[in-house]
Amino acid sequence: MHEYSIVMSLMEQCEALAQLHKATRIEQVELKIGVLSGVEPALLSKAFETFKLDSVCHEARLVINVQPLVLQCNHCEQQSQVDERTIVCPICQSNKTTVIDGEDMMLMQLVMDT
Ligand SMILES: [Zn+2]
């Protein structure tokens, strides 16, 4: 499952950061998940709950912020946030747009206990 490998690399990232900051445990992990990232938040948090048990994150709470899609229109030059998976500018209906947010998954913040 896709989400399992994501969580495994997330755990590795957390372990490394905890070590770097000499933290004994992580209290909270905050993620940003773009709607176009292909990551399913429900599956991800389930995988997290499974994997965290034997990691530095075993008491951590997972906070997921879903990042909507943000388009920059190359036609009317407006930036808009859209709720659906589209590349059409909601203002002028042009499809000459660039996705500027909502495509990736990112670790936003770790709350650690040192
Ligand atoms: Zn436009």
What is the reported pLDDT for 53? 92
What is the reported pLDDT for 82? 93
Interval 24-43 mean pLDDT: 94
Tell me: pLDDT of 13 over 80. yes
Q: What is the rounded CA–CA span in Å between residue 61 and residue 54?
A: 14
Q: What is the rounded CA–CA span in Å between residue 90 and residue 42?
A: 28
What is the reported pLDDT for 85? 86
Q: Which residues are annotated as a binding site?
A: 2, 73, 76, 89, 92
Identify the domain containing residue 11 by its residue range. Answer: 2-113
Cα(72) to centroid of ligand 1, in Å? 8
CB 21 within 8 A of CB 46: no
Count of domains observed in the chain: 1
Q: Which residues are annotated as a binding site for Zn(2+)?
A: 73, 76, 89, 92
Query: Whole-model pTM?
Result: 0.84
Q: What is the CATH number of the domain that holds 37?
A: 3.30.2320.80
Tell me: pLDDT of 41 over 70. yes
Cα(81) to centroid of ligand 1, in Å? 12
Cα(88) to centroid of ligand 1, in Å? 8
